[in-house]
Structure 1
C-alpha cells in the first residue's frame, strides 16, 4: 500500500485519531452479529457447523475490518458520511438477523446475500473522494464479486450453498495477496483502538451468552461455579491481549514505514485478528457446552470446542505478534500444545468442570510466566 506520507510513525492528515461515537454505534450491531455466528455453532456443534460458522465469520469480519479502514479516513462530523455509515449499519443489521437461517430455503438465505451486497456497495461508495480512493479501485471489484457469490449462494439450491460460501471465504482470504492492498491510509491510533474495542466486544458478548445460559440452570452451585470459571477464562483472555500486546501493537505499527504499514495492518489486524476473534467465539460456545455438561463427560465435536477456541485464540495472538514484531512469542506457541495435551483430554474423558478448570490453569500459568519474563527484561534494561 502506498500513501502520501513516507515518514515512519507519522499520521496521515485527515485520518481519525480516536474512535467516534458513531463507530461505537456500528459496533453494537457487530455484537449482535457475533451472537448470531456463535448461535450457528451452538445449535450445530459438529464439523459442518464449525465450518459454516468459520466461513460466515470470514466474510463478516472482512467487512467489519473494511468499515474500520473506511471510518479511519472519514470526517464523521459531517452529515453525508454519517448517513453513509448508518446505511451500512442498517445493511449489517439485516445481515446479522439472517445469519442463523442463511442455510435454510426461502427468503432468509438470499436476504443474507442481498444485505451483504448493500454493506459492500456502501463501503465502496464511502471511499470516493478520500485518501483511499485508489485502494478501493483494487479491492472493491473483488469485494463486489464476493458479495455476488454470497448472494448466489442464497438464490441457488441449498446443496450448493456450502461450496459457494467456501468460495466467497476463499476470495476474501486471497484479496490482500492479489491486490497488495495499495492506496489506503492507516491512522495508527484510531486503527489500533478500533480493533481493540472489537476484542472487548466479542469477549463481552461471550460473557453475556454464558450469563444467560447459567441463569437458566436449575442447580445454583453449578450455575455460579460454572459462570465464575467462564468469567475467569474470559478475563484471562482479556489479560493476554490488553496486558501488553494492545499498547505495544500501536507502537510497533507506528514504527512501520507508511508505505508498508497497510500491508502489515492487513496481516496483523486482518488475518491474525480473524483467528483471535474466531477463537473467542468458539471458546464461548465451548464454555456454554462445558457448563451444560458440568459434571458429565462430553462427546463429539462439542467436547473439544473449548480447547479448540483457546488454541485458536493463542495461535491468533502469536500470529498477531509475529506480524508486528517480526518474532514468534514462544511461550504462547507452547501454550497451544499444552492446551491440546491437557484441556482436550480433560474435556473428552473428564467433565465440563475439568475442561474449564484446566483451561484456566493453562492461561493463568501463561500470564504468570510472561509477567515474570517481562519483569526480568525491564530489570535488565540499563538505567
Structure 2
C-alpha cells in the first residue's frame, strides 16, 4: 500500500480530507485504552478510595494516551498514512499506545516506567524518521518537536523512576505542560494554512464515537454481570438513554458542522487545536459517565457512596463543560440549555446525596433528555444554522 515516490508522502488536496482504513485501524487501540481507563476508575470507586490524588493519577494516564492519539491524528493530517513514513508513524503509535494501555491498571505504580518509556520511545522514533525522510514536504522545521522532546523526556522518565506518587504526578504534569505548547507551535508551523479541516474534524468525531462505544461496552458488561433483575434492567435502560442523549447533544448541531467550521475559520490551525481541547473535555466526561453507568447498573438500589456522584453527575457535567465552549467555537454563541443543564446537575447533588445510585442516574439522564428536548424545540421550523467560527 505504500507510495515510494517523494511526492506521494504528503496528502494531496483532493484526497486528504477523509480518514483512511489504516487510521481507523489505529483507533481500535483506543477502544482498549479507554476501557483500561474506565476499569481503573471503577476499581477506585468500588474500593471507596477515589480521592483527589487517585483521580489526578488516572487523569494523567488518560492525558498521556490522549496526547498519543492527538499527535498521531495531526501527523496523518499532513503525511499520507499509506506512505512508508505514514505507516511507520501509525504502527509505532499503535504499538506505543497498546503498551501504555496495558500499563494503565498499575500505570502510576509498578508499571510507571513501562508507561512513560513507551511514550518517550514513540516520540523519539518519530523525530528520527523525520530526519531520515526530509523529503516530506512540510513547512517549518522539527525545532518545536526537538525542544518539547528534550524538555519533556527527563520529567517523564524521572517521574517513572521516583517512588513518591505526588512527586511522580508533578513530574508527569510538567512533562505534559512542556509537550503541549511544543505540539501547538509545531502543528501551526507545520500545517500553515493547509489544515485538512474535514479530515481533522472527522478524526475528532470518530474518537468521540469510540468514547461512546466504550460507555456502551461498560454498561453492557455491567448488565451482563448482574442477575438481570428489574432494577438492573432499569439501570441499563437509563444508561442506554443517556448515551443516546450524549450522542444527540454532540452531533446536533455543532459536532455535525465541525468540518465546515474549521475550513471556514480565519485561522484553521488555531481552530483545530481549540476543537481538540474541547473534545478532550467532552470525551473525559463520556468516560467518567460510563463509570457512573456501571455503578448504578451493578448496585442500583444499594447504599450509595458520596464519591459515586463524581461519576454519575460529574460525568455529564464534564461533558457539558466541554460542549458549551465547543458550541461557542463553532457558532459564536452558547445555548442556554447547556448552562441550565449544568445548573440542574449541580442542584441534584444535595437532592440525591443519600438516595440509591439508580435515583441519581435517573436524575442525570433526565437532565440530558431535557437538553435534547430544548434543542429540538429551538430548531423546530428554522433553517439549519450555518457555522460562524470565532477564530
TM-score (norm 1): 0.87
Aligned counterpart in structure 2 of residue 138 of structure 1, from 139, 144, 148:
144
Between 1:62-71 and 1:81-90, the stretch displaced more is: 81-90
Aligned counterpart in structure 2 of residue 266 of structure 1, from 252, 262, 273:
273
* Cα distance, 1:132–1:341 mapped onto 2, change above 3 Å: farther
For residues 340-369 of structure 1, what are the alpha-carbon distances to aligned partners after superposition, in whole Å with 9 as ceiling and x for unaligned?
112x33542211111111111111111111
- Which residue number in structure 1 is paired with residue 389 of structure 2? none
- Which residue number in structure 1 is paired with residue 220 of structure 2? 211
- Which residue number in structure 2 is paired with residue 5 of structure 1? none
- Which residue number in structure 2 is paired with residue 162 of structure 1? 169
TM superposition shift of 1:34: 0.9
The answer to whether the Cα contact below 8 Å between 2:61 and 2:107 also exists between their aligned partners in 1 is no
The size of the alignment, in residue pairs, is: 365
- Which residue number in structure 2 is paired with residue 256 of structure 1? 265
Between 1:367-376 and 1:197-206, the stretch displaced more is: 367-376
The answer to whether the Cα contact below 8 Å between 2:156 and 2:175 also exists between their aligned partners in 1 is yes
- Which residue number in structure 2 is paired with residue 117 of structure 1? 120
Equivalents in 1 of 2:21, 2:292: separation in Å?
A: 32
Q: Higher relative contact order at CA 8 Å, sep ≥6: structure 1 or structure 2? A: 1
The answer to whether the Cα contact below 8 Å between 1:70 and 1:126 also exists between their aligned partners in 2 is no
1:54 partnered with 2:63 = no
Q: After the TM superposition, which residues 182-261 of structure 1 pair with which residues of structure 2 at under 5 Å, given as runs?
A: 182-184=189-191, 185-257=194-266, 260-261=267-268
* Cα distance, 1:99–1:222 mapped onto 2, change above 3 Å: same
For residues 227-249 of structure 1, what are the alpha-carbon distances to aligned partners after superposition, in whole Å with 9 as ceiling and x for unaligned?
12111111110111123222221
* Cα distance, 1:176–1:113 mapped onto 2, change above 3 Å: closer
Q: After the TM superposition, which residues 94-109 of structure 1 pair with which residues of structure 2 at under 5 Å, given as runs?
A: 94-105=99-110, 108-109=111-112
1:20 partnered with 2:11 = no
- Which residue number in structure 2 is paired with residue 4 of structure 1? none
- Which residue number in structure 1 is paired with residue 294 of structure 2? 288
The answer to whether the Cα contact below 8 Å between 1:180 and 1:263 also exists between their aligned partners in 2 is no
1:65 partnered with 2:74 = no
Between 1:113-122 and 1:279-288, the stretch displaced more is: 113-122
**Secondary structure class of the residue paired with 1:244:** helix
TM-score (norm 2): 0.85
- Which residue number in structure 2 is paired with residue 350 of structure 1? 355
TM superposition shift of 1:219: 4.6
The answer to whether the Cα contact below 8 Å between 1:229 and 1:360 also exists between their aligned partners in 2 is yes
- Which residue number in structure 2 is paired with residue 7 of structure 1? none
* Cα distance, 1:123–1:283 mapped onto 2, change above 3 Å: farther
The answer to whether the Cα contact below 8 Å between 2:65 and 2:100 also exists between their aligned partners in 1 is no
* Cα distance, 1:171–1:39 mapped onto 2, change above 3 Å: farther
- Which residue number in structure 2 is paired with residue 3 of structure 1? none
Equivalents in 2 of 1:20, 1:177: separation in Å?
A: 24
1:34 partnered with 2:34 = yes
Equivalents in 1 of 2:30, 2:149: separation in Å?
A: 19
Equivalents in 2 of 1:175, 1:318: separation in Å?
A: 27
- Which residue number in structure 2 is paired with residue 374 of structure 1? 379
* Cα distance, 1:285–1:131 mapped onto 2, change above 3 Å: farther
TM superposition shift of 1:284: 0.8
Aligned counterpart in structure 2 of residue 86 of structure 1, from 65, 88, 91:
91
**Secondary structure class of the residue paired with 2:108:** coil
The answer to whether the Cα contact below 8 Å between 2:85 and 2:129 also exists between their aligned partners in 1 is no
Equivalents in 2 of 1:379, 1:201: separation in Å?
A: 26
